[in-house]
Amino acid sequence: MQWHCLPFEQLTTHQLYDLLKARVDVFVVEQNCPYHELDEHDRHPDTQHLLAYDNDQLVAYLRLLPAGATYDNVSIGRVLTTSHARGKGLGHQLLTKALDAAQTQWPDQTIDIGAQDHLQAYYKEYGFTAISAMYLEDDIPHIDMRLEKTITR
């Protein structure tokens, strides 16, 4: 497995194509959810794109966003594993890598996510707690969750 955590400017055209295709395949086609996939958050200078490749094929992706981009705190979004790569624990590797990358990029910062409601237990395994009631986003139940970071001295 090859992992890459890159800002927009360092993505190759092939990596950009791969991540956009995966996001459309998962969020628009599989989840039958037409929405504005492309937003300016991808190009924010502090956004990091975490990509996992297996045999030159993108199998997992997410983006890490700085505080103030989508939430008041640092956030993680567009979390996915491709359909052919699911069921192998890759999502856990992806989230672990994301939390490590967030700690490196923004040490000891609180992280917010807008999670699909059925994934609450998954995110709770990593210390996230619900901070909102369930709401519909693009007709899919979501909930906001937070991983509080406290500095111990």
> Which pLDDT band holds residue 32 (cuts at 50, 70, 90)?
confident
Residue 26 has pLDDT above 60, yes or no: yes
Containing structural domain, residue 71: 2-147
> Which pLDDT band holds residue 30 (cuts at 50, 70, 90)?
confident
Residue 153 has pLDDT above 50, yes or no: no
Do residues 40 and 47 touch, judged by C-beta distance below 8 A? no
Q: Report the percent of the chain where pLDDT is more than 70.
A: 97
pLDDT value at residue 150 = 62
Tally of domains in the chain: 1
Q: Could you tell me which residue, 33 or 86, shows the higher pLDDT?
A: 86
Contacts of 128 (CB under 8 A, 6+ apart): 111, 113, 115, 145, 146, 147
Do residues 1 and 23 touch, judged by C-beta distance below 8 A? no
Rg, the chain, Cα only: 15
Do residues 110 and 101 touch, judged by C-beta distance below 8 A? no
In a domain, 50, yes or no: yes
In a domain, 152, yes or no: no
Residue 29 has pLDDT above 90, yes or no: no
pLDDT value at residue 38 = 83
In a domain, 65, yes or no: yes
Cα 134–Cα 136–Cα 137 angle in degrees, nearest 5: 125
Mean pLDDT of 112-121: 95
Prediction pTM value:
0.92
CATH number, position 51: 3.40.630.30
In a domain, 111, yes or no: yes
Lookup: tokens for 74: 């640092």
In a domain, 153, yes or no: no
pLDDT in tens, 63-92: 999 999 999 999 999 999 998 899 888 999
Mean pLDDT of 58-67: 97
